[in-house]
Amino acid sequence: MNRTEHERTTPPRRRARRTLALLTVAAAVTASLLAGQRLTSGPPTPLLGPPPSGVVAPEVATPQSVTPLPPPPIPLTPEQIHERIAPTTVHLISSVGWRDTAGTGIVLTPDGLVLTNHHVIDGATDIRAVNQSNGASYEVEVAGYDRSRDLAVLRLAGASGLPTPALGRSADVHTGDPVTAIGNAEGGGIPQAAGGIVTAVNRTVTARDSADGSTNRLSGLIEVNADIRPGDSGGPLVDDTGAVIGVSTAGTAVSHDEGPTPAPRQEIRSYAVPIDEAITVVEQVREGRGSETVHIGPTPLLGISVSDSVTIPGARVIAVTYGTPAEEAGLVRGDVITTFDGKPIRAAADLTALMVARHPGDRIELGWTDKDGTPRTAAIVLTTGPPR
């Protein structure tokens, strides 16, 4: 993830470099898709000879004109796909502390609504985008996200007139279909294409973030053998007509290192979130309809990191950030959060789920047990933090 004149029409080839291990396949479900039959009827059968005397011949209806079906889309060459799709993407750079994370985004509207992966912007204090059509750089606002599906919706400030790709139907995707992934492979800032075929649909995987080691279980994914690499995340997976059918989200480790003892070549397995599912999240965000997994707008900040408690039911505090609402309320490492607005917290996931529906400025009632076993409570006003 030697320049010649031929590169003007041919997309850059993937460089032979080692990428990061991101996935462990957890399960697979084979989907059976049924093709419908088209029913046709011929013209009415003419009567043979005149009708008998005294018998009125039935009226024969004049066949109605039938609008012919449009011809199927013509498959494009890899060069044509790259030429058509690359300008509809953005190169994303997310700043998380002292490091930058590269990713890709798909431009959905001319005024700069962009679809990408949540893990591309997770924890970012600053996000920048460069459009591959006009080369312009934009400040980025997070409109909303769904961490459970690894999707995020962004807005490019001041954008207009940006080209957008055609959207396909991932429900029509079959094993063996040719596909192309386009993205910012290895963070080089130049859109590159990786071809392959669909090897499975409706796959479930556990994806591991190569930056912080966090994991996320994702279901219903499209599996391909295209070489999707770090930096490609959030980019379009398109069919052979150039229609977007998925959002590239993760890939397995592939080693092409050369030397006296080169590593054995591994099978390429990469994954994309189906575009049908992704657009559902986009529409929720655009309409401002939050849910248990979809967060709308800026992210609220409490200021703690938690894990499951092994002593009593709750979320154990493993870190408190200085100057945050949690620190000001007196929370310290080792405390166990047990209630949130009166609702019981039995594990870290409970706290995360309840925070999805909150916004900066919201007032919450937090209950916890300190290291001495003393119950404590505090009213806390959430502030604005990076997307989580």
Name the nearest CA neighbour of 146 among 281, 276, 236, 249: 281
Which structure tokens are listed for 239? 């069919």
Calculate ∠ Cα 195-201-106, nearest 5°: 55
pTM, whole model, 2 decimals?
Answer: 0.78
What CA–CA distances, in Å, run from 271 to 166, 234, 346? Answer: 20, 11, 32
pLDDT of 271 reads: 96
Give residue 341's pLDDT. Answer: 94
DSSP 186: G
Out of 3.40.1710.10, 3.40.50.1820, 2.30.42.10, 3.40.50.2300, select the CATH number for domain 298-385.
2.30.42.10
Residues 6+ apart with CB under 8 A from 71: none
Tokens at residue 76, please?
């494009």
Which residues lie closer than 8 Å to 94 by C-beta, 6 or more apart? 100, 101, 103, 120, 121, 122, 123, 124, 126, 127
CATH architecture, domain 170-276: Beta Barrel (2.40)
pLDDT tens across the length of the chain (388 residues): 333 333 333 444 443 333 333 433 333 332 322 222 222 333 333 333 444 444 444 454 445 556 676 677 788 998 999 999 999 999 999 998 888 889 999 999 999 999 999 999 999 999 999 999 999 999 999 999 999 999 999 999 999 999 999 999 999 999 999 999 999 988 888 899 999 999 999 999 987 665 555 677 899 999 999 999 889 999 999 999 999 999 999 876 444 444 455 545 568 899 999 999 999 999 999 999 999 899 999 999 999 999 999 999 999 999 999 999 999 999 999 999 999 999 999 999 899 889 999 999 999 999 999 989 999 999 999 999 999 8
Contact 31, 202 (CB under 8 A): yes
Spatial separation of the C-alpha atoms in residues 320 and 325, rounded to whole Å? 10
How many Å apart are CA 69 and CA 84, to the nearest integer? 25
What is the predicted pLDDT for the residue at 15?
A: 38
Distances in Å between the alpha carbon of 29 and those of 142, 271, 378? 33, 14, 47
SS3 (DSSP) at 334: coil
- pLDDT of 34: 24
Domain boundaries of the chain, sorted by first residue: 170-276, 298-385
